Structure 1
Amino acid sequence: MTAHDRRVGAATLKRLRLSRGWSLADTARALIDAASRLGQPLGTSVASVQRSVARWESSTAPILPGERYQLLLAHIYACGPTGQHSLGHGSDFAELLDALTYLGESEHRLHELRTLLVRTATDAGGGLLALLGPTTQQPMTAAFADPSRIDEGLLAGIRAVIGDVNGQVGSIPFVRLQLLLAPVVESCRRLLAGAAPEPLLPELRSIAAQAYTLAGRLAFETRDDGAAHALYTAATTTAGRAGDPWRRAVVHMSHALVTLYSTPGIDAARTLVDAAVRDARTGTSIAVRARAHALQAEIAARAGAEQHAQAALSLAWYDMDGDRDGDPSPGSFSPTYLRGFDGLCELYVGDPAIAHDAFARSAQALTTPRERVQRTIVTTDQALARIRLGDPHAAAELLHACIDGASSTGGRVTAIRLRRARHELRPWRTENFVADLDDHLIDTFGA
């Protein structure tokens, strides 16, 4: 972090304060009031806090606010004059995070602050308005009244909200994410039902398909299969009208995974995966194509079709090793995720020892909050591999960690995988280590 960066951060904090019409003393009083509301009184004078604010804004030697003050600043700048939370692009809260970035705060700490304030917004009943920045809220209202007023700025704002919600998977329970996303889904429906400008329709349809797909996944995770099916149907139709076939392939893959865990057998999921592969092969995203082939390999492995599974997996690695510069969906899949599919294929039709090592490598690389759900799933599969290697004690230890991971998000897939792994431990059901695991499951999930 350079001296210039720190000065930019300090200037941003000062600009934020002045935009509220606050003096240094006013800001100090706001921080003290926020601390009292949060049950964390500062126990210091206005003058003392005022000196801290001045040091943060110093034009010569600014300092980064401590974590306690960062939390208080986040709370006061996340609320607008009316008390409504505003966390999206262009909000004071977003500017505060920029300022802290320039002053040298870590990305991990900023993610924690954002997650905490999203939780606060959902506690208070906030939804779309919490994540739509102030520069997007007014155009949204205008577009509802007159769809011809939809513009690229509004679409970018809606896409940012979907990205925010998706980025909180693994950090925020799924039921809270539903609360945040539901108004976005309804907004997309209303905008598509109107006479949107023709040049913007492909982009609007692409955004709507993303919203419907994510909402379908959230509905499934919260055990509302009827709503999930309806949302995936809408996503498939909308993505099919958006242009490039890879967008519909993404919908098919998400729908296939949901179907795999909510429908007996694998035939329905296989149909969706095969459709995803067809769309992905004619689309422009190599990453999506790799993921589609990986899912095809998993389905084949679950069916015991070893040769088909290995062929599909080879295609997935061929795609992943290709030139992905300019890929329209670069973050949709990665070698780390693909290693998990390596493990799955070995688990079902290969060597459990190889599967175990593949799962271990994949889980170790899945480190971000967004990857927490996937890490729990992969670790559960790693436990299955240990059971098949004749080491149930070690498997149970892994499953204890998986229970803790699953409890933080309430994910349905992780719960299903945990139950299946516990089922594999039946031969040792009279052992104390299995009884301890059952107690942990009951304490966490109630059954």
Structure 2
Amino acid sequence: MDDKATGAAILKRLRRRRGLSLADTARALITIAGRLGQPRTSLPTVAGLQRSVARWESGRPTRPDARHQLLLAHLYGRTPAGTIVLGGGSDFRELLDALAHLGESAGRLAELRSMLVRTATDQGGGMLALLSPDMQAGLAAAMADPSRADEELVAGLSMVVSDVNAQVGSLPFVRLQLMLAPALEACRRMAAGPVPAPLVARLGAVSASAHTLAGRLAFETRDDVASRSLYATATREAGLLPDPWRRATVHMSHALTILYSTQGLEAARVLVDSAVGDARAGASVVVRARAHALQAEIAARAGEERQAHAALRLAWYDMERDHGDDPSAMSFTVGHLRGFEGVCELYVGDAALAQDRFAVAASSLTARRELVQRAITTTDQALARIRMEDPQSAAGLLHECVLAAATTGGRVPAIRLRQARQALRPWRREVWVADLDDHLMDVLGS
């Protein structure tokens, strides 16, 4: 059976499992469209939509278009009782699998998932929506008695942490904290009990990732005390794992919060140097590249031109190697590294080159997950233009960043915006600066 036939078969199986006829499915999709506020005239009649459903399931299937995919996502993202369930083993996961077989892109599937996660949080749901019903029951049992934990449950918790992390840029940080909190509590309870020995390392890796993400979310929501505590736990958990690259990622995340929130570089430098040491001893070349890139930024901010460029060369050397078997292959990209190049040029090089590096980096950071990083890169690009004596176009770039800062509620984009606005003080009487101030006040209240 080819991919498209497999996708059609999955769609048919989903429909029949729900006890729906073709006409029933058409009527259900029309009802969902109305609930979502889509005009009735934008959909065909029941008979017309019934024919579309049949074509999706036929021997020569067509792929549902974006609008119909959204309706199907809302249909199969809920149980027949109306509960949103998006985790492994759910009908929603099967729908995404069907659409993938029918040729839909990974980016579009991720967007559909984000939409349903947003719906779940809008309605007061959270982590449980990311777990199948069976896994929800298993989680409750394991939290009461950690010896009942199994590989499937730990894998489910890992997926929850990955899912929450993937929503950075799509949902406000406060919502992400609420979604992550139950996973954190589950990790803590199970770590305190007699978890089966084969699961200890895997659970430790999930706990380290969860606490690292929680540390970042606490920082973004301006709870520095909680952030430091969470990073301390993440560092401890990662230090118990066999491969030190995991602890390197904790150090780097922690270092960035310090770099952005305090005066002086030394505390961040200590963490970054530790990250470089762990990364060099670890199995992830990509994490090593990121550690060297961050080391280059610290050196550049300190005015250490030679050290900055040396660290950048090491980062590029690592990025240009084969990452086929890298355990953290997608955690850092060439686009991210271009941004670090821009930072080095901004502080110890040529502002025009910095502007070009930032422009290339921003253009590659297009995924919703990268919205925050794109906003940071664009504010740095604006700083480069200010140093190039082009403040008006810099102000234009900053308008683009205001919405990103407001959408996520993130602290770092807001900090970078304030820094860039301060650099515009010599032009504070210009109309275009007043327009930027009005935008900042309207959207961020500052």
Q: TM-score, normalised by structure 1?
A: 0.94
Residues 301, 348 of structure 1: 8 Å contact kept:
yes
Provide the C-alpha distance between the structure 2 equivalents of 1:246 and 1:61, rounded to a whole number of angstroms. 47
* Partner in structure 1 of residue 92 of structure 2: 93
* Partner in structure 2 of residue 5 of structure 1: 3
Single out whichever of 172-181 and 186-195 deviates more from structure 2: 172-181
Q: Counterpart of 2:259 in structure 1: which amino acid? A: L
Provide the C-alpha distance between the structure 2 equivalents of 1:276 and 1:103, rounded to a whole number of angstroms. 42
SS of corresponding position for 2:366: coil
* Partner in structure 1 of residue 315 of structure 2: 316
* Partner in structure 2 of residue 171 of structure 1: 170
Encode CA deviations 1:238-262: one digit per residue, 9 max, x unaligned. Answer: 1111221111111010000011122
Provide the C-alpha distance between the structure 2 equivalents of 1:249 and 1:65, rounded to a whole number of angstroms. 43
Provide the C-alpha distance between the structure 2 equivalents of 1:107 and 1:246, rounded to a whole number of angstroms. 27
Query: Is residue 307 from structure 1 mapped to residue 297 from structure 2 by the alignment?
Result: no
* Partner in structure 1 of residue 247 of structure 2: 248
Query: Is residue 210 from structure 1 mapped to residue 201 from structure 2 by the alignment?
Result: no
* Partner in structure 1 of residue 40 of structure 2: 42
Encode CA deviations 1:169-210: one digit per residue, 9 max, x unaligned. Answer: 122222222222111111111111110112221111011100
Q: TM-score, normalised by structure 2?
A: 0.95
- For residues 164-243 of structure 1, the aligned pairs below 5 Å read 164-243=163-242
Q: Counterpart of 2:189 in structure 1: which amino acid? A: R
Residues 252, 273 of structure 1: 8 Å contact kept:
yes
Encode CA deviations 1:107-135: one digit per residue, 9 max, x unaligned. Answer: 33323221111110001111121111334
* Partner in structure 2 of residue 53 of structure 1: 53
Provide the C-alpha distance between the structure 2 equivalents of 1:270 and 1:295, rounded to a whole number of angstroms. 9
Q: Counterpart of 1:80 in structure 2: which amino acid? A: T
SS of corresponding position for 2:108: helix
* Partner in structure 2 of residue 69 of structure 1: 68
Query: Is residue 292 from structure 1 mapped to residue 291 from structure 2 by the alignment?
Result: yes
- For residues 14-413 of structure 1, the aligned pairs below 5 Å read 14-40=12-38, 42=40, 45-58=45-58, 60-413=59-412
Question: Percent of aligned positions with the same letter in both sequences?
Answer: 65
Q: Counterpart of 1:78 in structure 2: which amino acid? A: G
Residues 175, 222 of structure 1: 8 Å contact kept:
yes
Provide the C-alpha distance between the structure 1 equivalents of 2:289 and 2:57, rounded to a whole number of angstroms. 49
Q: Counterpart of 1:51 in structure 2: which amino acid? A: R
Q: CA deviation at 1:68?
A: 2.9
Provide the C-alpha distance between the structure 2 equivalents of 1:307 and 1:104, rounded to a whole number of angstroms. 49
Q: CA RMSD for the aligned pairs?
A: 1.8
Give ranges in structure 1 of 5+ residues lacking alignment. Answer: none
Tell me: CA distance 1:312–1:45, structure 2 relative to 1, closer, same or farther (3 Å).
closer
Single out whichever of 267-276 and 113-122 deviates more from structure 2: 267-276
Provide the C-alpha distance between the structure 2 equivalents of 1:272 and 1:65, rounded to a whole number of angstroms. 49
Number of residues of Structure 1 aligned to a counterpart in Structure 2: 444
Single out whichever of 293-302 and 318-327 deviates more from structure 2: 318-327
Give ranges in structure 2 of 5+ residues lacking alignment. Answer: none
Residues 32, 41 of structure 1: 8 Å contact kept:
no
Encode CA deviations 1:268-305: one digit per residue, 9 max, x unaligned. Answer: 21121122122222222221112112111111111122
Encode CA deviations 1:353-390: one digit per residue, 9 max, x unaligned. Answer: 12111111111222222222111111111110110011
Single out whichever of 300-309 and 210-219 deviates more from structure 2: 300-309
Q: Counterpart of 1:413 in structure 2: which amino acid? A: V
Provide the C-alpha distance between the structure 1 equivalents of 2:50 and 2:310, rounded to a whole number of angstroms. 66
Tell me: CA distance 1:66–1:342, structure 2 relative to 1, closer, same or farther (3 Å).
closer
